[in-house]
Amino acid sequence: MKVQAVCLAGPTASGKTAAALALAARRPVEIVSVDSALVYRGLDIGSAKPGAAERAAAPHHLIDIVDPADSYSAARFVADASRLVDEITARGRLPLLVGGTMLYFKALRDGLDAMPETDPAIRAALDARAAAEGWPALHAELARVDPVTAARLAPNDAQRIQRALEVFLGSGRPISAWQQGARAEKPAAAAWPLVSLEPASRAWLHERIAQRFDAMLAAGFIDEVRALRERGDLHPGLPSMRCVGYRQAWEALDAGDLAPLRERGIAATRQLAKRQITWLRAMPERIVVPCDAPDALAQALAALETAAG
């Protein structure tokens, strides 16, 4: 079966960018970002957005396409990425989908059923309840009406808890039921081979995460969040400001105490990585590369070359 696009996934700080650019040095590829933070303009340091040199090495797509006051969905990603794959292929180049937003990978490879649109009134009511009761209380409510979804969400995963409750309250049907009703004609997995960078040692990944967060702080991450706050039209309930790191920085600035930020930011990023690995392990057809192996980059490049055919 002809490969439509090669997918490169992995938890944060696993070396995806280096592997993607290594393939770009060998093949005419265009990189399609699969990252729910990179779509937002102005979220540069805290999202580890590719720099000018990295973007010059290969064309990049789905970066800086949305204002942080707006939202971006898995359905919109599928539409955008599908269009880009067709356009890149028509140019005689290889589409390389790279990122760590596993819901986007799953939506693209497995398909999505049309779910209810966002209801501003329901969302506002849930925001008000969360402010009064806390997201763990809403997570407990979700567990009663949609235990399947609640079981895979952390009690403070505000964005996904809100969306799941919003769908249930608006349609009377759990979001897990909508997702199970995804279109029957799924893209063949062989046409979307997935190379997955996964650490054999969680301690190795934790050290990489800490190093990356320290580098972000040194690069001016707090000033970046201050500038976003000073716009006046952003708030912590927006999907952009719920991104890992940004949420913790906003809370620290609200509290007027930056001392706990490093510890909380690193802890939140570790939790994100844990969720990403859980998603990946539910994709049995993936090609696993141990990203903490001494020759990880060479192994990743070989796997990508094989996947591309």
Other residues' Cβ atoms within 10 Å of the Cβ of residue 294 = 8
Other residues' Cβ atoms within 10 Å of the Cβ of residue 125 = 14
Class of 6-112+193-308 per CATH? alpha beta
For the chain, the domains span: 6-112+193-308, 120-179
Class of 120-179 per CATH? mainly alpha
What is the Cα–Cα distance from 163 to 75, expressed in whole angstroms? 13
What's the pLDDT at 84? 97
Residue 114 reports pLDDT greater than 70:
no
Q: State the average pLDDT over residues 63-86.
A: 93
25 — phi, psi (to 5°)?
-75, -15
pLDDT in tens, 271-293: 999 999 999 999 888 999 999 99
Annotated binding site: 10-17
Residue 252 reports pLDDT greater than 60:
yes
261 — phi, psi (to 5°)?
-60, -45
Q: State the average pLDDT over residues 248-275.
A: 96
Annotated binding site for substrate: 12-17
- Look at the block and give the residue holding tokens 């859980």: 278
Which residues are registered as beta bridge partners of 40? 66
What is the Cα–Cα distance from 189 to 1, expressed in whole angstroms? 10
Structure tokens at 243: 């991104």
Sign of CA dihedral 237, 242, 246, 249: positive
Nearest 5°: the CA angle 265, 269, 272 is: 145
Helices 102-110 and 74-90, axial angle in degrees (round to 10): 70
What's the pLDDT at 185? 47
Residue 183 reports pLDDT greater than 80:
no
pLDDT in tens, 21-73: 999 999 999 999 999 999 999 999 999 999 999 999 999 999 999 999 998 98
pLDDT in tens, 1-24: 688 999 999 999 999 999 999 999
Q: State the average pLDDT over residues 250-266.
A: 96
| Per-residue DSSP letter, 273 | H
Phi and psi based region of residue 109 (left: phi greater than 0; alpha: psi -120 to 50; beta: remaining): alpha
In sequence order, the 6+-apart residues with CB closer than 8 A to the CB of 33 are: 39, 60, 61, 62, 63, 98, 99
pLDDT confidence band for 75 (50 / 70 / 90): confident
Q: What is the largest CA-CA distance in the chain?
A: 57
Structure tokens at 278: 């859980």
Least confident of 78-82, 109-113, 142-146: 109-113
What average pLDDT does the structure give for the chain?
92
What's the pLDDT at 189? 65
pLDDT confidence band for 184 (50 / 70 / 90): very low
What's the pLDDT at 17? 95
Q: State the average pLDDT over residues 151-167.
A: 89
- Regarding predicted confidence, which is higher, 75 or 20? 20
Annotated binding site for ATP: 10-17
What is the Cα–Cα distance from 305 to 117, expressed in whole angstroms? 39
What's the pLDDT at 191? 86
